[in-house]
Amino acid sequence: GGGLTSTAADYLQFVQMHLNKGMHNGERLLSPEAIELMRTNQLPAAVKNIGGLYPGNVFGLDFAIVENPEAFQGASQGTHWWWGIAGSWFWIDPVENLVFIGMIQNDDILYSLQTHAAARAAIYQ
């Protein structure tokens, strides 16, 4: 999809709710089972990853999922993430109990990938 409008603060609440297994400010918005499905590989066994730009990743319901941390520059196994074409991105790392959001205005995929890698390197050093 495209054309979503939000704020960094709202985006942070969204990813924090996913880290909290569907809970937000004491209210259940999604069931733990729904969250688990979203961050569980949904690809057929014959599909090993989601493509050459994202080595070590598979795909759940709405998220890429880090299956091989060494191939994906340090994020923990089970980290789930996604990014928008205009530059916003996030990751949710249940192992380290952290969320990250990034906001850039950019549609150059290679620049975005470099920026994402630099952010992961800074966080996971």
Task: Report the distance separating Cα 69 and Cα 90, nearest Å.
Answer: 16
Task: Report the distance separating Cα 113 and Cα 53, nearest Å.
Answer: 8
pLDDT tens digits for 68-118?
888 777 789 999 998 887 788 899 999 999 999 999 888 888 888 899 889
Q: What is the pTM of this model?
A: 0.85
* Res 3: pLDDT: 66
User: What is the CATH number that goes with domain 8-123?
Assistant: 3.40.710.10
Give the start-to-end residue ranges of the domains of the chain: 8-123
Task: Report the distance separating Cα 125 and Cα 107, nearest Å.
Answer: 27
Whether residue 6 is predicted with pLDDT greater than 90 in this model: the reply is no
Q: Which has more pLDDT, 67 or 84?
A: 67
CA atoms within 13 A on the CB side of 91: 24
Q: What percent of the chain has pLDDT over 90?
A: 50
Name the residue type at position 26.
Answer: G
Q: Place 62 in a pLDDT band, splitting at 50, 70 and 90.
A: confident
Name the β-bridge partners of 101. 90
Task: Report the distance separating Cα 3 and Cα 73, nearest Å.
Answer: 29
pLDDT tens digits for 71-84?
777 789 999 998 88
